[in-house]
């Protein structure tokens, strides 16, 4: 295996790491995933990750690191603790698992090395997760230097999502052609509910708000592509199509403002284009 063309992806089966998996598949010839369990709430996550790796056609490896859950108390591994829904003012939310990403990257680097891989990919993001210190870029750079010194190697830790908002992460999944897969087959929810999740845990809120924002943006872009169509029929002021388009634009505007429930934008705009083609 050429070390420059292979990557190991830390994969949990969630939105972020699945997007990273497909980013890696696009950027490296050979990719494998590593799914680390640490006594978190739902072992179901692992099954999701396994299925996604299978679908992507990449090797899947699972590693048990439940020792992490014995080292400190947090609401992801202590199932009796009530999960913080918001970040407390003076501390981290109790969903913070101290040292998690440091452990994860260390395990990943050692395992990557044994497969002659030097590229590591992780889905941490500093833009949206202001909560966790080990999602920050400074930490990743420092961990990268430490791992290189520890093993006298030249690892490169890739963080494709570091500066992206959740909406931009959805956009990336869409660009990579896996928007539906990420939307329907991944599990981000702290309560272990696939796809849109339970809707009220912090992970769901972040994911669903990002999705909403992205869909709005996409809708707006679709509208822009239809503008020339409207211009074309403008001359035929009294044609029914012109009025239809005008009302369609009003509807789309209401959808963007969240005042009107969508059909879906795609269906709606497709109908319009069909109509126009027929004329």
Closest to Zn ion by CB, 157 or 211: 211
Gap between the Cα atoms of 155 and 151, Å rounded: 9
How many chain residues touch Zn ion (CB under 5 A)? 6
Closest C-alpha among 238, 236, 234 to residue 249 = 234
Q: Which of 25, 48, 68, 201 binds Zn ion (CB under 5 A)?
A: 201
Q: Which of 198, 227, 254, 270 binds Zn ion (CB under 5 A)?
A: 198
For residues 106 and 95, the answer to whether their CB atoms sit within 8 Å is no
Gap between the Cα atoms of 84 and 241, Å rounded: 52
Q: Which of 189, 206, 241, 252 binds Zn ion (CB under 5 A)?
A: 189
Closest to Zn ion by CB, 197 or 210: 197
CA angle 179, 172, 95 (to 5 degrees): 85
For residues 5 and 28, the answer to whether their CB atoms sit within 8 Å is yes
Site string for Zn ion, 203-242 (x = CB under 5 A): -x--------------------------------------
Name the minimum Å distance from CB 102 to Zn ion. Answer: 26
Name the minimum Å distance from CB 73 to Zn ion. Answer: 21
191 binds Zn ion (CB under 5 A): yes
Stretch that binds Zn ion, among 19-27, 94-102, 186-194, 233-241 (CB under 5 A): 186-194
Phi, psi of 35 (to 5 degrees): -115, 115
Residue 197, CA atoms < 13 Å, CB-side half-sphere: 25
119 forms beta bridges with: 7, 156
Q: At what angle do helices 100-114 and 137-151 cross, to 10 degrees?
A: 40
Name the minimum Å distance from CB 199 to Zn ion. Answer: 6
- End-to-end CA distance of the chain: give it in Å, rounded: 57
Stretch that binds Zn ion, among 58-66, 147-155, 184-192, 252-260 (CB under 5 A): 184-192
Closest to Zn ion by CB, 109 or 189: 189
| Residue ranges that bind Zn ion, judged by CB under 5 A | 189, 191, 197-198, 201, 204
């Amino acid at each position: 295996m050429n070390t420059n063309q292979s990557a190991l992806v830390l994969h949990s089966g969630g939105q972020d790491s699945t997007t990273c998996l497909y980013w890696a598949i696009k950027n490296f010839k050979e990719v494998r995933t590593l799914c680390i369990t640490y006594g978190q709430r739902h072992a179901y996550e692992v099954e999701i990750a396994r299925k996604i790796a299978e679908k992507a056609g990449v090797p899947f490896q699972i590693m048990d690191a439940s020792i992490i859950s014995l080292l400190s108390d947090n609401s992801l591994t202590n199932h009796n603790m009530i999960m913080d829904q918001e970040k407390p003012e003076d501390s981290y939310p109790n969903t913070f698992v101290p040292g998690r990403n440091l452990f994860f990257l260390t395990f990943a680097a050692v395992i990557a090395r044994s497969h002659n891989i030097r590229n590591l990919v992780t889905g941490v993001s500093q833009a949206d997760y202001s909560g966790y210190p080990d999602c920050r870029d400074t930490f990743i750079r420092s961990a990268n230097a430490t791992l290189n010194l520890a093993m006298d190697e030249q690892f490169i830790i890739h963080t494709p999502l570091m500066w992206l908002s959740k909406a931009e992460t959805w956009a990336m999944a869409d660009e990579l052609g896996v928007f539906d897969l990420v939307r329907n087959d991944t599990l981000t929810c702290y309560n272990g509910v696939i796809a849109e999740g339970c809707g009220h845990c912090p992970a769901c809120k972040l994911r669903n708000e990002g999705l909403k924002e992205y869909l709005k943006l996409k809708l707006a872009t679709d509208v822009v592509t239809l503008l020339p169509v409207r211009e074309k029929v403008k001359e035929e002021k009294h044609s029914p199509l012109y009025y239809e388009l005008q009302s369609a634009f009003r509807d789309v505007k209401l959808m963007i403002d969240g005042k009107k429930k969508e059909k879906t934008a795609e269906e709606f705009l497709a109908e319009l284009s069909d109509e126009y083609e027929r004329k």
